[in-house]
A and B are shown apart, each in its own frame.
Chain A
Amino acid sequence: MNALLLFQLRRVGRNRQYLLFTVLLPALFTVFFTKVFGGAAAGGGYQEYATGSMVSMMAYGAMGAALGATIRLAFDRASGWLRQLRITPVPQGQVVAVEVAVGALLTLPSLVVVAAVGRFVNGVELPLGTWLALVAVLWVGSTAFVALGLLIGLALDEKAAGGAIGFVSVVLAMLGGLWVPVQLFPDALQTVARALPSYWYAELGRDVVAGSAPAPTGVLVLAGFAAVSAILGVLVATRRPLHAVSG
């Protein structure tokens, strides 16, 4: 395995905050929301509610993990590590590629753990193929938020990046209907939700559990969002290279 990738994964493994916010918290939310609100729904209603809530929490956890993974760029620039790394033979392209890979890998535990909690704690029932497709689709979709996280990590200094990522993930989760289903939103807010990538991200998962392929609209919105973030990220990195002294 690539030495830099292994090195970065070891560092992530030491970060308790990552585990707390992107794996444990969504898992707890899944249980909490389902037990509190799902209990009120009778019979088949429970299964539907528990599934929907689980999909939302998978999306929430993966989004947070993807966004949070890339904040390390801002920290590593502030500490001077990226500058130090820049004068070793490690190619700069590899530094960014490894961040993308780490971001992508970090979303997996959130997806798998929340799915497992949905299945074994909340009793969500889906065919095996659907489980696998659900994790796979949400995993691929999470790259859109890896791209957004990279953009934030490249554009802002570490304190601002931390705040921005917290703010962005709360707004995307709340208004995108990851905490409260969009159906309960007033009309105006529903329109807002449909303008957010987080809504379409969870929608990919809802399509899968409904037994269909992800709708083209959602795929296109997320792909476009990822592309715009990536292009902006490249522009920012051109103006302000990774090795720039922060501040």
Chain B
Amino acid sequence: MSGRTDDVSHYCRDGRPTSLDGMPATPALEIDALTVSYGATVAVDQLSLTVPAGRTVALLGANGAGKSTTLNAVLGLVPVSGGSVRVLGRRPLQAIRAGAVGAMLQHGGLPSEARVGEVIDLVRRSYPAAWPLDDLVATVGIDGLLGRPVDALSGGQRQRVLLAVALAGEPPLLLLDEPTAAMDVEGRRAFWATMRDLAGRGHTVVFATHHLAEADAVADRVVVVDGGRVVADGTTAEVKRGAGGRTISFTGVAQPRDDTLPGVTAVRVQGDRVVLTTNEPEATLRGLLAGGRLLPELEVRGASLEDAVLSLTHPADPAPAAPAPTGALR
């Protein structure tokens, strides 16, 4: 494909990149105790995260959890109050100048009065090793759009063009901030198929999302962020297991007492159902029954990733969040 770069370790397409002497390659991304504050608000709080090259990592969390701010700090778009960020061993701006990063931003956009092909051409020229145009167009699925004015694109087309811009320089590290927000179901499916393809070629992909299904389906590692901190980090299976194995649900009204049931890590109400996430389902059930309450339409099942994330980010205990109980969690 590119074949034009000397820096093989960053572009390794086949398998996991390692340097030639067998030592582990420089991580694609190293965040160490990153802190970002907006005035008195701490958006990212001592967040640390290392992503080895070639991995696909989801940053999962609610709006305001600090995902976007973390990605923006990696790109040098926000002033950092503490900690450090290294992209392939470089500072953010150096990494950008070296063409090591491509990104789809939440507030990124395309210029008016320009054609799609002109925009992509401009961006490709700025990178040291541009992605061959035909292949880029086919990969991203923008055939037939190159001659179109940017102002005439549909929402989905616009997102694909923004992806093409992010990929134009064939960057080793790709950062995506809720990339599928404006896409329909079909667009999402196609998008993530492209991402898997990229990961297969050795690109490192870090994406922020609050779509759990996306994280579950695409990422080989999920980092759950809440309150600007990493609250869980592992494979989706590890995060599910670590966050309390089961949910117990029944029709009825949640009562404050539910919070004090043994083993419960989260309580939420879904329509007319109460859903308890618990890591001791038996003890929880016993507690519920001992309270003498009826449990119509009782259901006990393995927690979904969504349940896991909820129990991690909305702990039942109103006191400060206790550390989650397994090795998969920090």
Contacts and interface: CB of A to CB of B under 8 A. Distances in A.
Contacts of A186: none
Contact of A88 (B112, B123, B162): B123
Contact of B109 (A4, A84, A87, A88): A84
A81 B77 contact: no
A109 interface: no
B148 interface: no
B103 interface: yes
Contacts of B98: 89
A88 B108 contact: no
A88 B96 contact: yes
B126 A87 contact: no
A76 B125 CA distance: 20
Interface residues of B, number: 30
Given A88-B126, A243-B77, A10 B108 contact: no
B107 A83 contact: yes
Contact of B103 (A10, A87, A91): A87
B225 to A, nearest CB: 20
Interface in B162-197: 162, 165, 168-169
Contacts of A90: 122, 126
Nearest to B96: A87
Q: For chain A, which range describes its interface: under 10, 10 to 19, 20 to 34, or 35 or more residues? A: 20 to 34
A245 B113 contact: no
Contact of A91 (B97, B105, B112, B114): B97
A7 interface: yes
B274 interface: no
Interface in A67-121: 75-76, 79-81, 83-84, 86-91
Interface in A1-29: 3-4, 7, 10-12, 14-15
Interface in B63-115: 75, 77, 96-99, 101-103, 105, 107-114
A89 B105 CA distance: 16
Given A10-B114, A89-B126, A80 B99 contact: no
B317 interface: no
Contacts of B113: 11-12, 14-15
Nearest to B127: A89
Contacts of A11: 111-114
A14 B151 CA distance: 12
B149 to A, nearest CB: 8
A81 B105 CA distance: 10
**Looking at B111, B113, B128, B168, which has the most chain A CB atoms within 10 Å of its CB?**
B111
Interface string A209-247: 000000000000000000000000000000000010100
B112 A75 contact: yes
B143 interface: no
B282 interface: no
A90 B126 CA distance: 6
A86 B77 contact: yes
Interface of A: 3-4, 7, 10-12, 14-15, 75-76, 79-81, 83-84, 86-91, 243, 245
**Interface pairs A-B: 8 shortest CB-CB:** A80-B109, A79-B109, A84-B108, A81-B111, A11-B113, A245-B107, A14-B113, A89-B126
Given A10-B114, A89-B96, 15 more contacts: A7-B122, A11-B112, A15-B113, A76-B111, A80-B105, A81-B111, A83-B105, A83-B107, A84-B105, A84-B165, A88-B96, A88-B168, A89-B97, A89-B98, A89-B128
